[in-house]
Amino acid sequence: MTVSELTASAQDYLKMIWSSTEWAEAPITVGAMAERMALKPSTVSDGIRRLAKQGLVTHAPYGSIELTPAGRAHAVEMVRRHRLLETFLVQVLGYGWDEVHDEAEILEHAVSDTMIQRIDEKLGHPTRDPHGDPIPSGNGLPHRPQGDPLTSVEPERTVTITRISDADPDMLRYFTQLGLGPDTRLQVLAHRPYADVTTIRVGDRDVDLGPSAAEAIWVVAN
């Protein structure tokens, strides 16, 4: 029943499927998974077939990919591991928020349940990782995240950042330069649709963000 009976690869597939529904609606496709995991579609197709055989996902050929309850439990556990480890690396080992994702991507498969528990205790049961993402609790219930992409906020609104996608370390370093992180307040000045640029005011500074940056930032009104 514990996650560590699965191969690292299976753990990553499940985590990816689950994550695809955390901040977006559309169910994930084989092609998108292959893209995001830097694998070939044939490899993913095969992997999904193995997961289905283990009862962790349901999948009819050419059909949609859905986690079973067992698959979802494993996936949430992996997300918990990943985010606790990221938090640990920042808090205890002095990593920057742009350095932790790749390290956690490996460690999440290697640490024992015991170690996760001790990390959780040492950190005082944190609820958000360094990128603002919610850390699911030990009993598998996610702390429900909130927010919407910066691109969907009406101009003139002042908002607070809830999370920033941890996918691109370079982008995170750029955000650090700008003083943008979880809980940063900012004002949306304008969206320029055909230029695909969002202008924000953070502190006393006006900044233009391209679409990939603006989509990586999620905010709530305040």
Write out the residues near DNA by the rule CB under 7 A: 7-10, 29-32, 38-50, 59, 61-63
Cβ-defined contacts of 196-200 (< 8 Å, 24+): 198/150, 198/151, 200/150
Q: Cβ 27 to Mn ion, closest distance in Å? A: 21
Using CB under 8 A as the criterion, which residues of the chain lie in contact with a second copy when the complex forms?
89, 92-95, 99, 102-103, 106-107, 109-112, 114-115, 118-119, 122
Report the DSSP beta bridge partners of residue 148: 219
Instruction: Report what 166 binds from a second copy, DNA, Mn ion, none; CB cut-off 5-8 Å by kind.
Output: Mn ion
Please, which residue, 8 or 221, has the CB nearer to a second copy? 8
* Residues near 110 by beta carbon (within 8 Å), at least 6 away in sequence: none
Instruction: Report what 105 binds from a second copy, DNA, Mn ion, none; CB cut-off 5-8 Å by kind.
Output: Mn ion
Element (H, E) at 106: helix 100-107
Please, which residue, 114 or 177, has the CB nearer to a second copy? 114
Please, which residue, 57 or 180, has the CB nearer to DNA? 57
Beta strand 205-209 with 197-202: parallel, antiparallel or unpaired? antiparallel
Question: Which amino acid is present at 212?
Answer: S
Instruction: Report what 72 binds from Mn ion, DNA, a second copy, none; CB cut-off 5-8 Å by kind.
Output: none
φ and ψ at 46, to 5 degrees? -65, -45
Instruction: Report what 115 binds from DNA, Mn ion, a second copy, none; CB cut-off 5-8 Å by kind.
Output: a second copy
User: Which among 220, 213, 215 is positioned nearest to 162, based on CA atoms?
Assistant: 220
